[in-house]
A and B are shown apart, each in its own frame.
Chain A
Amino acid sequence: AQSVTQPDIHITVSEGASLELRCNYSYGATPYLFWYVQSPGQGLQLLLKYFSGDTLVQGIKGFEAEFKRSQSSFNLRKPSVHWSDAAEYFCAVGPSRGGNKLTFGTGTQLKVEL
């Protein structure tokens, strides 16, 4: 069975500081990995996705993520956080590019201190 672990429930960073959100997955085949962001009262917005090839993927809003097969990880990073990045972030794994049968982690709530 596939599963996703996001070990940090809450993270607080200062504006301008760097950010790394952790994601570990368990999947028996080639994983298709996604990061979504959810602002309060809104649905999920796709930040980036990894299917194959270069293990460092770039996304929207200045985010990037690195796929490490040996560590079963897909951590999300941003060099300099903006106050508007405060939101909840979800990592997800699925069996296809289309995002069918996604399994989500429990999310990491990001707070940005001014």
Chain B
Amino acid sequence: EAGVAQSPRYKIIEKRQSVAFWCNPISGHATLYWYQQILGQGPKLLIQFQNNGVVDDSQLPKDRFSAERLKGVDSTLKIQPAKLEDSAVYLCASSLGGDRGPQHFGDGTRLSIL
């Protein structure tokens, strides 16, 4: 089966600019996650979707980050405006949902803020 697809793989922007990341989960996976992985740290969950509804966004900096999952499939994560501390790898993961299997991760988008 095809894995979780993410684009772009790399992005360089200046602070205060905006940026968007795209994720296409594994077909049939109801749950989609966005993680932020800062260099030297483990992934931190930003937001979790179940189909097209938000389950958990408690750690999403909502003043600058937003995410949507239209039609319960693809998802977009946006940062506007970006800050230097947003430099990180943004990982998307998906799972069947509930207790029906672990998360499968994409290769991530590496974001550098100048």
Which A residues fall within an 8 A CB radius of B? 4, 34, 36, 41-46, 49, 90, 92, 96-102, 104-107
Contacts and interface: CB of A to CB of B under 8 A. Distances in A.
B19 to A, nearest CB: 19
Given A34-B102, A100-B48, A101-B56, A90 B95 contact: no
15 contacts: A43-B91, A43-B105, A43-B107, A46-B102, A46-B104, A49-B102, A90-B42, A92-B42, A98-B95, A98-B97, A99-B103, A101-B45, A102-B103, A104-B44, A107-B42
Interface residues on B, range: 20 to 34
Contacts of A96: 98-99
Contacts, number: 64
A4 B95 CA distance: 22
Interface of B: 4, 31, 40-45, 48, 55-56, 91, 93, 95-108, 110
Contacts of B108: 42-43
Contacts of A99: 95, 102-103
A36 B102 CA distance: 11
A67 B40 CA distance: 25
